[in-house]
Amino acid sequence: MIFYYAPKTVSVASHITLEETGASYESQRLDFSTTEQRSDDYLKVNPKGRVPALATDRGTITETPAILFYLAQSFPAKCLAPLDDSFALARIQAFNAYLCATVHVAHAHRIRGSRWVDDENAIKAMQAKVPQTMGECFALIDKEMFKGPWVTGQDYSICDPYLFTIENWLEGDGVDINDFPRIAEHNQRMREREAVKPVLELHGL
Q: Give the tens place of pLDDT for each residue, 57-77.
A: 999 999 999 999 999 999 999
Q: What is the pLDDT at residue 47?
A: 97
- Let me know if 140 is exposed, middle or buried by CB neighbors in 10 A (0-12, 13-18, 19+): middle
Angle in degrees, CA 8, 125, 132, rounded to 5? 65
Q: What is the pLDDT at residue 6?
A: 95
Which domains are delineated in the chain? 2-79+198-203 (3.40.30.10), 86-193 (1.20.1050.10)
Mean pLDDT for 170-184 is 98
Q: What is the pLDDT at residue 79?
A: 98
- pLDDT band of residue 53 (cuts 50, 70, 90) is very high
Whole-angstrom Cα distance, residue 30 to residue 44? 14
Q: What is the pLDDT at residue 174?
A: 98
Q: What is the pTM of this model?
A: 0.96
